[in-house]
Amino acid sequence: MKAIVKWIILLSAACIALSARAQIVVADGDFSAWTLGNIGTSTMATEAAGGNPGARLSVTTNSGIRTWGTGFKNDFSTSAALAGLPFTLRLDALAGAGDFSGGQGQYVMLLIEQSGTLYGAYLGVTGYPGTSFSTVSFTGTLTPANFAKLSGPGAATPDLSGATPTRFGFGGGNQSSGTVTQYYDNFSLTIGSVAATSVPTLSELGLAFLALVLAGSAHSVLRRG
């Protein structure tokens, strides 16, 4: 009977641990706590109105060698181990001056800031988002080698082991396509694949069911005793 009770405790703890795994979610539509900058002649700026709704970010990129408007959320950081975790970056995007149907729009980077050093990983292009906000989405895996150092005194690639506090943002860039402005709102970065509120998988449900069966067996043993 003691062995059965021990297994019930262990399996219950395993189920709780599985359900407690949480994603890291960094989201903002206000942009009041962002550090904005640029690589080259492109710019990123906060605008108080015109977002989806409320404030928005304006990114203006220029022709020639690819340049970037950059920004990161400076009031959130994490020291979690990030290497190898999947991520999804979502942005609401809106076409502005110089953008046109059939064009590539702007390039998008995922940004990481660590101790004054900014790193970027190229994700893809927005395309032409249209004259009303539409959501663009990019997925990938957090791998140090995918990030290039953009500015700052740090190492060539970010430390994703959890030893260094990490902040997140994004950049918009362009190359040889004239001057293009796009607007962005509702930045959302999700890191990890299992949320605390997610539906249990079949394997997790199986563990829970087995725990219930063993609990019933233990109850019968106690009654006979």
User: What pLDDT shows up at residue 154?
Assistant: 97
User: What pLDDT shows up at residue 214?
Assistant: 39
Q: What is the DSSP string of 143-205?
A: -GGG-EEEESSS-SS---SSSS-BEEEEEEEE-SS--EEEEEEEEEEEESS--TTSPPPHHHH
Q: What is the pTM of this model?
A: 0.78
Residues 6+ apart with CB under 8 A from 41: 62, 64, 67
State which amino acid sits at residue 120: G
Q: How far is CA 216 from the centre of its chain?
A: 43
> Percentage of residues in the chain with pLDDT exceeding 70?
75
The token pair at 123 is 């994700």
User: pLDDT class for 102, splitting at 50, 70, 90?
Assistant: confident
| Residue environment code for 174-206, b if the CB has 16+ CB neighbours within 10 A, otherwise e | beebeebbbbbbbbbbbbbeeeeeeeeeeebee
Closest CA to 9 of 225, 21, 1, 201: 1
| Mean pLDDT of all residues in 150-158 | 97
DSSP assignment letter at 223: H
User: pLDDT class for 9, splitting at 50, 70, 90?
Assistant: very low
pLDDT tens, residue by residue, 206-219:
444 444 443 444 44
User: Do residues 139 and 86 touch, judged by C-beta distance below 8 A?
Assistant: yes
For residue 89, how many other CB atoms are within 10 A of its CB? 23
Kindly tell me if the per-residue pLDDT of 111 is higher than 70. yes
Task: Report the SS3 class of residue 11.
Answer: helix
Distance CA 105, CA 126 (A): 5
Q: Is the peptide bond before 86 cis (omega within 30 degrees of 0)?
A: no
User: pLDDT class for 194, splitting at 50, 70, 90?
Assistant: low
User: What pLDDT shows up at residue 16?
Assistant: 41
User: What pLDDT shows up at residue 198?
Assistant: 38
Kindly tell me if the per-residue pLDDT of 222 is higher than 80. no
Kindly tell me if the per-residue pLDDT of 165 is higher than 70. yes
User: What pLDDT shows up at residue 122?
Assistant: 96
pLDDT tens, residue by residue, 80-101:
999 999 999 999 999 999 999 8
pLDDT tens, residue by residue, 30-52:
999 999 999 988 999 999 999 99
User: What pLDDT shows up at residue 66?
Assistant: 77
pLDDT tens, residue by residue, 117-144:
999 999 999 999 999 999 999 999 999 9
| Mean pLDDT of all residues in 175-179 | 78
